[in-house]
Structure 1
């Protein structure tokens, strides 16, 4: 049997899932207003304005909220933002931040007390924070004076600063009276939030757009634009239609959308590494995945190279663990080359007919783009060829999270997920999805992975403060993932944005979760 047989039918099936729609809403044309589809991406509109609970949308949230530190534009190093500088003690247990002179949008000063308050919220899982598990090395936070914050750790944490780039500072005077358990869904986030960024929140029209106005008192100077508007679309195709019509000036796009802008003088394409590994997460609470041979069969059954070429247009790299960067991928690991006959043999050896037979298996995802639909359909068809019957179910991000983060999930709702998790710029980011100590409600290990060898390797890598040794530690993580398959890792794709050539000094960097990074929104402008 030809190893590529079945691909054409899989791709044909996938193509049937592509849909387009054009929204009726249009923003007024204003020379000093930038409109964009900043949240159009793999999971669409996140439906969440709360940065403590957000796993995406940071490109937009960081226009009006700011963290103490952020990545530079190239995602290569952590630099100060609301912290003008920071120091780390020789034993790497004490972090001292000197804060910039900044004001909240209501004119009150930003102080170390606000920073301490914010970190306290981020550490408290009752607030809905997705950072609680990532900040568990923090033993104390002290506001030494208005401009000095001191964080002490119980043990060195190599990825603390990566986590801190995502923790947006919040105003104590505005939020301290809201009980922690009521904070996550409080209306404040979508009605009257205040940050320290270059733009102020003005209004949100449900599921249509958010409007921000320039903050004339921004410490970096008055923004060049008067307004920035974030529009929401049913799918990327609708955003592309609005972009071509001149209704917006920027949007995220999938790799297969690039041809629509090829050789155009009116738009420029921005390309970069997504730093996100896409994977099939086996729900380890489900008995059907207990046998390693079954998980191996899933990997051998999927023609990843064909999907990458046919659906991604070659804009992705196969991932045989959570990583694809050369320095953290050891040589000699299994590549799981497409081999459906081997998949069938493994399933036979494992007794798949008795384990599951042809019962449908729910494959849950929050990816709702046409490209994702095509990928899911191709995977469905390829698995069907070896006797694994999966039924894709795509839902919005809040629904997905409510299902997979439930402390006692009904495995029938998601015996498997198609998802993505940040694998850089800091490789420690992957810990939250795989470490046994991060199983919900403690963290977002939604696959309920319980592999002592993997947890040991992750802990060793996170605790390694010697930069020269860290890569070797993460190679150990990769080896365990590759041999034990807590996930069926698929690929790391490139990410793309399309911007109007009328935009000046506009920075957008393809980044996991949308960043944050040094984007300098105060400098964004539109040519007359």
Structure 2
């Protein structure tokens, strides 16, 4: 198998799952007690005579850093830093890649990628943003002294298999400035344009070489300048930060896409349980689906607020049940479990209808989703037949399968009890073990489980890294299929959406048949915005692309 992005999936998996599991429906994130009036956070004024415009964004996970060179690909860090240092591109609400710092990214051969920097892009001190800034940023991201292993830069020529360049390196063979506004990236193996854009275009946040070039490399990771940068290329710059509680921003009036209409912006880090009261009181103006997880039990309360508009995002968070196929070896038992769960009832009963049922990894939010693959219908009689066949072939029905569930996901812990009762009726015993997320990840990594459930987001435009890792001998499922391997490789050799869609239909069809995983349901999570805030729509993707155009009406 060609070396793909599997390392990034493995390295970042825990951080992704921490975000999704702690912020999605039913999760009760218990941050330290948060005082919304911590020093440094400017509250929105209700004084009509005060012309200063202030907006507060509620998020439910703490930050590890606001240094773009320490990017860990978590959503909260990405957005908190991208207000200051733009990504090359970003996904909009239509799941289209929209230029941010770059005007375009193209490839002719799925090996060489040309990034054109926006000709109008300038730093807040008036200095043009150049290709050298991008090259400098990637070189520092690949530095062994910063030791940021999360960016999967090993994909590029000149970068080691560990994701780093040699200590003291001054260039990367596969990342070159062609001219002042053009960068060429060259990969070691075939890569789809969407994979490049989603993996690198969205997460390389360019920093100013002319400001940082003389800072010793071993000091960049802890450089305090990033806590209140003087020069940025995005719409805002940090004025004050407390990683556990808030980030306060001031507008960059020199932003090349247009000066922000909001003078001051705050990220308020609160518990999920505080979002409803914050929205109700007006202390929180905006909650985006992947960074602020409104509790499922609070949905009706938020919908009833007269000062708030809600928006249910596209279904992207998959409540996945993974099998350890090296333990549950009889495919008939895995199939019986799929037939034996009434997934539509899970959506209607536990998700208030805010979700959908699919087989495989792709939801209707993905451009590669094929509706011709009809989800397996609930059929307890078929399930019983399969169990009977498996028992006749030697499967021990008296031994319960060990089913591990995240204790922090209160919605699915209830659903797991329902699933257990349903499967008991068809002759399959489950022993539900509710454990914290760290324990769940340990069980997953050591394959010390029969089944495990966790919320997982497969990027709709770029599911390749996750699927490629999960459906492998090294992945959680321990499942490998040559047909799937070939189809995944084929997705990286083309930029034709129709061809990629065809390959994912092959993959999801094989998953439906062999059942290394089950999609219990795909969640459509709630976002919310105060009605005083205009030009702002909370969505899974694209919420902050136009943050400079947000405005308030009092």
Q: Do structure 1's residue 389 and structure 2's residue 427 form an aligned pair?
A: no
Match of 2:53 among 10, 28, 32: 32
Partner of 2:282: 246
Deviation at 1:497, TM superposition (A): 0.8
Partner of 2:547: 521
Partner of 1:4: none
Deviation at 1:212, TM superposition (A): 1.7
Q: Do structure 1's residue 292 and structure 2's residue 331 form an aligned pair?
A: yes
1:418–1:106 distance in 2 versus 1, CA, 3 Å: farther
Match of 1:167 among 196, 199, 203: 203
- Residue range with higher mean Cα deviation, 290-299 or 83-92: 83-92
1:478–1:158 distance in 2 versus 1, CA, 3 Å: farther
Partner of 1:209: 246
Distance across 1 between alignment mates of 2:206 and 2:338: 43
Distance across 2 between alignment mates of 1:56 and 1:140: 27
Match of 2:532 among 483, 499, 502: 502
Partner of 1:11: none
> Does the aligned pair in 2 maintain the 1:315–1:493 contact within 8 Å?
yes
Secondary structure in 1 matching 2:313:
strand
1:348–1:452 distance in 2 versus 1, CA, 3 Å: same
Gap runs ≥5 in structure 2: 1-24, 38-42, 46-51, 160-172, 289-293
Give TM-score, length-normalised by structure 1.
0.77
Match of 1:463 among 477, 489, 493: 493
Distance across 2 between alignment mates of 1:508 and 1:198: 18
- Deviation per residue, 1:402-436 (Å, 9 max, x gap): 7489xxx4333896241312241x1xx22212215
Partner of 2:378: 337
> Does the aligned pair in 1 maintain the 2:106–2:193 contact within 8 Å?
no
Q: Do structure 1's residue 148 and structure 2's residue 178 form an aligned pair?
A: no
1:216–1:343 distance in 2 versus 1, CA, 3 Å: farther
Distance across 2 between alignment mates of 1:100 and 1:477: 41
1:192-341 alignment runs, 5 A limit = 192=228, 195-235=232-272, 237-252=273-288, 253=294, 257-262=298-303, 264-283=305-324, 287-325=326-364, 328-329=369-370, 331=372, 335-339=376-380, 341=384
Secondary structure in 2 matching 1:389:
strand
Distance across 2 between alignment mates of 1:105 and 1:364: 45
Partner of 1:5: none
Distance across 2 between alignment mates of 1:419 and 1:277: 6
1:155–1:221 distance in 2 versus 1, CA, 3 Å: same
Distance across 2 between alignment mates of 1:274 and 1:348: 37
> Does the aligned pair in 1 maintain the 2:358–2:522 contact within 8 Å?
yes
Deviation at 1:142, TM superposition (A): 0.8
Q: Do structure 1's residue 128 and structure 2's residue 152 form an aligned pair?
A: no
> Does the aligned pair in 2 maintain the 1:433–1:446 contact within 8 Å?
no
> Does the aligned pair in 2 maintain the 1:86–1:98 contact within 8 Å?
no
Distance across 2 between alignment mates of 1:383 and 1:417: 16
1:475-494 alignment runs, 5 A limit = 475-494=505-524
1:131–1:346 distance in 2 versus 1, CA, 3 Å: farther
- Deviation per residue, 1:74-105 (Å, 9 max, x gap): 32x22221013444447874424134444556
Deviation at 1:273, TM superposition (A): 0.8
Distance across 2 between alignment mates of 1:254 and 1:505: 25
> Does the aligned pair in 1 maintain the 2:336–2:387 contact within 8 Å?
yes
The RMSD of aligned alpha carbons is 4.1
- Deviation per residue, 1:354-412 (Å, 9 max, x gap): 8x9236443348xx4543544455445555663021212233xxx4897489xxx4333
> Does the aligned pair in 1 maintain the 2:276–2:302 contact within 8 Å?
no
- Deviation per residue, 1:430-456 (Å, 9 max, x gap): 221221599799xxx554543332221
Partner of 2:448: 412
Secondary structure in 2 matching 1:353:
coil
Q: Do structure 1's residue 371 and structure 2's residue 371 form an aligned pair?
A: no
> Does the aligned pair in 2 maintain the 1:114–1:170 contact within 8 Å?
yes
- Residue range with higher mean Cα deviation, 161-170 or 126-135: 126-135
Partner of 1:9: none
- Residue range with higher mean Cα deviation, 518-527 or 95-104: 95-104
Distance across 2 between alignment mates of 1:192 and 1:440: 45
1:283–1:363 distance in 2 versus 1, CA, 3 Å: farther
- Deviation per residue, 1:89-140 (Å, 9 max, x gap): 4787442413444455687653212312444566789522154477789982
Deviation at 1:288, TM superposition (A): 1.7
Distance across 1 between alignment mates of 2:202 and 2:450: 28
Secondary structure in 2 matching 1:220:
coil
> Does the aligned pair in 2 maintain the 1:22–1:241 contact within 8 Å?
no
Distance across 2 between alignment mates of 1:337 and 1:137: 51
Q: Do structure 1's residue 69 and structure 2's residue 57 form an aligned pair?
A: no
Distance across 2 between alignment mates of 1:417 and 1:323: 17
Distance across 2 between alignment mates of 1:346 and 1:54: 45
How many residues in Structure 1 have an aligned counterpart in Structure 2? 484
- Residue range with higher mean Cα deviation, 499-508 or 516-525: 516-525
> Does the aligned pair in 1 maintain the 2:93–2:539 contact within 8 Å?
yes
Deviation at 1:143, TM superposition (A): 1.0
1:474–1:148 distance in 2 versus 1, CA, 3 Å: same
Deviation at 1:164, TM superposition (A): 3.5
Match of 1:114 among 133, 145, 162: 133
Secondary structure in 2 matching 1:114:
helix
